[in-house]
Structure 1
Amino acid sequence: MKRQLSILGAALLAVLASIVVFARPADAAVGLHISGRNIVEANGQTFIMRGVNHPHVWFTGQTNSFADIKALGANTVRVVLGTGKRWGPSTDVADVISLCKQNRMICVLEVHDTTGYGEEGAAASLDEAADYWISQKSALVGQENYVVINIGNEPIGNTNPGQWTDATTNAIRKLRSSGFEHLLMVDAPNWGQDWTNTMRDNAQTVWAADGLRNTVFSIHMYSVYNSASSITSYFDAFASKGLPLVVGEFGWQFSSGEVNHDTILAEAQSRGIGYLGWSWSGNTDPILDMALNFDPNQLTTWGQRIFNGANGIRATSREATIFGGGPTTPPATTAPPVTPTPSTTPPGGGAGCAATYSIVGQWPGGFQGEVRVTAGGSAIRGWTVTWPLGSGQAVNQAWNATVTTSGSNVTARNMGYNGSLGAGAHTTFGFIGSWNGTNGVPASISCTAS
């Protein structure tokens, strides 16, 4: 009987051990890991990615970019690498990680060769991408606090996107069986945009394939996501599944029909979702460059928006606690040049309002403006601000207000959430504009309360 009980006890212990291995608790994870729907650090502190993509494999000499991106407030940089099939091979992984750590940023490493597999004949498979990561294992193991492995960029095109599920689960299992415990990131098919909802509908299967439950899903948002509803519905779908999601790439609304970046930024901030904009510099289509010629003093409209605009990196980024955990406030020397002397309306008595116009950042051909609206001696329920454009000026986009232009006159009206102001209270709205010649503040600006 005693022998039978010993055998039974040993069997029970074996079963329990197998359960512990399979259902490893989140707080036992190594380094960055998933807890609920959040990315958290080893100490359990939530970490929300706020950063940009850097095309390192094509510009390996631009190592100053890591410091420049950090100086503008980023807490994460997604670094483009190559397996050698199309680009690279990137054999400087240890150096890249060192640059990320020196500049106090989390390093998301991705191989770009997989882009459009199945539709792009030269693309590498996710299995080949997994082999690349295994070849770089000596540089990666021990860096779990600092590194996220994004297995392959946009790994399936629009041809047979359904293959994404098996290809992704097999790549995850291959890395786990090779001993990787890092947080893994997986991109969607359809060139990253998942317009067939393949990742959305099969994410649970992929999640279950990771024995460590340490995978985050990455959606790339470009022109497929040109409306607020398309963005919020995709975010809602992952929230309803209880699965982690980040926006691994996105652009901006540089023309009608392009991505609704304002909604991405606002919704990501309100939901605690990480985002990584595309991209720092070096694009063949420079409209997606954030900095011209890799120069942080030449931020483009897109660069100003993502770093300095509402819900942007400067306003919302916090360092990983492993580096200190504070706001990523850039040095004063990196702040955009400011045009002095704001234009102001006199404060109103009674149910009136005043407006103050300031240029908070300026670069060749573009600028960022801000208007502060202040209620007078009584509460107001809404406001309208108007001002004339200077010669060569235009307003291209705005946030926290509905802005229209008629001829040379601009009209800004409150949103539903910031129209009601108590006596003496204020709100602000911002915009990105273009200019040539002289970029001055308007001679007059008016505010009308309702």
Structure 2
Amino acid sequence: MLPFLDTAIIAIVALVPLLAITVGGGSAIFYLLLLACLAACCLREGGWRASVHSLRPYRGVVAALFVMLGAIVISQIAHGNVHGPSIERGARVSVAFPIFLAAMLGIDRRHLQQALWGVVLAGLTAAAIVFWLALPAFVRPDTPQHNAVTYGNLMLLFLVLAAYGTGWHLTAGRRLESGFKIAAAAVVFAAFILTQTRTGWMAIPLFVVVGLWLFAKVKHPGKMFAALGVACALLVALGSTNEALRARVAQGIQEAEACQGAGATADTSVCIRLQLWRASRQIIEEHPLFGLGNTQRFIPELEARVATGVVSPFVSQNFGEPHNDMLNMLTSYGVLGGVALILLYGAPAVVFFRRLGASHPREVRVAAAMGLALTLGFAVFGLTELMFRTMKTLGLYVILAAWLLALSDGGAAAPPRARAPR
């Protein structure tokens, strides 16, 4: 029974990125994986006690992620209301994460690595959709499941994981496998450019630094900055070949400059974000400790600020969130919510950072580099976009974080055995 569950867990983890970016079904696949992981934790040798014991090195991470549920519950108690979706979000982070991690720690790493093919397939599928929607006129695609910004950010993350994944050998044909992963990353990057997403480009220097640390082992600060400068110059040159992207960058600069004084409530892409951020700052100043209690109360707060000229009527009627993950947590759940988000990024990132050191085996370092790309990438993406807008992106983050923590674990990767019947 246990080998079947392990295989099922690996298959589901591989499916999660594909479903998250194409047809949806995020909640169903999330809870299916949760059920499989619960069963695996109970059936392995030693039962659930052994699973709990395997989490001892991760007590700090588990405790840090439990702050998310605590922040939400405390905020709702303070306001005397119960918002089910908010509690579910907190439970996905605080309760489901340790169950995912405990189950995956008991799976042979060589087998668990195979889930990377799901990430590669998700990237290629998303790229095919973008090419279909954008070509031949090179229009900005109206992507499914997510807006173009979130879609482009996830595509960029998937291609980075595929590129780092050349450090793993998952098949007998090593050269062919590496070539395929590099080609897949190149195809997805071309599609990413077509999404005309400005947010994703801010994270690329970070991904380049992590990649240099992983593959080139460049540690001297001078050499690192020089290599980073060259890489960024090449990326800028490549991005500038897309006329529509160049136009969007120039347009963004113009909109930011115009969003002042009489133009402070202009309904342009950049100015809309600035209006949402100004309103969020006011809400945080008025409700610093516990926020509003849930995400739904942000909408009436926006509507109340139309009369004072903070936001335009268009923004109050069409936008129900701050377009920033940190501001969303602070306005919804107060200062503890902001701390919870920092810990959601930072606690796993610290573990990944330590495991990226040269003293660890290559396979561990590859997983650690992927984990840094995931955690810090989402942190950068969340500066100008609400990456955790939906349950499926939050679930995707939690599942991938647990998967990469298990893969970067330096312990033995021997496959677990089922308990002998009594």
TM-score, reference length from structure 1: 0.24
| Higher strand content, 1 or 2 | 1
Q: Which structure: larger Rg?
A: 1
TM-score, reference length from structure 2: 0.25
| Higher helix content, 1 or 2 | 2
Answer 1 or 2: higher relative contact order, Cα 8 Å, separation at least 6. Answer: 2
